[in-house]
Amino acid sequence: MLGKLAIKKLYIIGAGLAGLSAASWAIHKRNEVEMFETSSLAGGRCRSFFDKKLGTTIDNGNHLVFSANKNFYDLCELINSTNKIKVIEPNLFFFDIKNKKSWELSLSILDFLFKNKRIPDVHLSDYLSIIKILFMSKESTIGNLKVTNNFKNYFWEPLTLAVMNTSVNSASARILSNVLKKTILKGKKYCKIYQPLKNWNETIIEPAVNFITKGNKINFNTRLKKVEIRDNLITKLEFNNKQIQIGRDDYVISALPITAFSKIFNIIDVPKDFNTILNIHYKISPKIKKLFTRNIIGMINSHSQWIFIKNNYLSVTVSNANIFNDESQETLSKRVWKEICVLVNKNIPMPNYQIIKEKKATFLQSPNNYELIKKITNLPRNLLICGDWTQSDLPCTIEGSIMSGKKSIEFLGV
Q: How far apart (Å, rounded) are the C-alpha atoms in residues 399 and 70?
A: 8
Band of pLDDT at residue 413, cut at 50, 70 and 90: confident
Mean pLDDT, residues 393-400: 96
Band of pLDDT at residue 113, cut at 50, 70 and 90: confident
Band of pLDDT at residue 201, cut at 50, 70 and 90: very high
Band of pLDDT at residue 4, cut at 50, 70 and 90: low
Beta pairing, strands 313-318 & 274-283: antiparallel
Mean pLDDT, residues 207-221: 97
> pLDDT at position 118, please?
85
The answer to whether 273 touches 259, Cβ cutoff 8 Å, is no
More confident residue, 322 or 107: 322
Total number of residues shown for the chain: 414
| pLDDT per position as a tens digit, 154-178 | 999 999 999 999 999 999 999 999 9
Kindly give, in sequence order, each residue whose CB lies less than 8 Å from that of residue 230, ignoring residues fewer than 6 positions away.
none
The number of helices, as runs of H, and strands, as runs of E, in the chain is 13, 20
Band of pLDDT at residue 35, cut at 50, 70 and 90: very high
Mean pLDDT, residues 116-140: 92
Residue 241: exposed, middle, or buried by beta-carbon count in 10 A (0-12, 13-18, 19+)? exposed
Q: Domains in the chain and their CATH numbers?
A: 10-86+196-272+365-412 (3.50.50.60), 90-191 (no CATH), 274-363 (3.90.660.10)
| DSSP secondary structure string for all residues of 388-404 | GGG-TTS-SSHHHHHHH
> Residue 139 pLDDT more than 80?
yes
The mean pLDDT of the chain is: 95
| pLDDT per position as a tens digit, 52-90 | 999 999 999 999 999 999 999 999 999 999 999 999 999
> Residue 414 pLDDT more than 80?
no
> pLDDT at position 7, please?
74
Q: How far apart (Å, rounded) are the C-alpha atoms in residues 215 and 236?
A: 23
Mean pLDDT, residues 179-203: 96
> pLDDT at position 192, please?
96
Closest to 145 in 3D by CA, of 120, 174, 103? 174
> pLDDT at position 108, please?
83
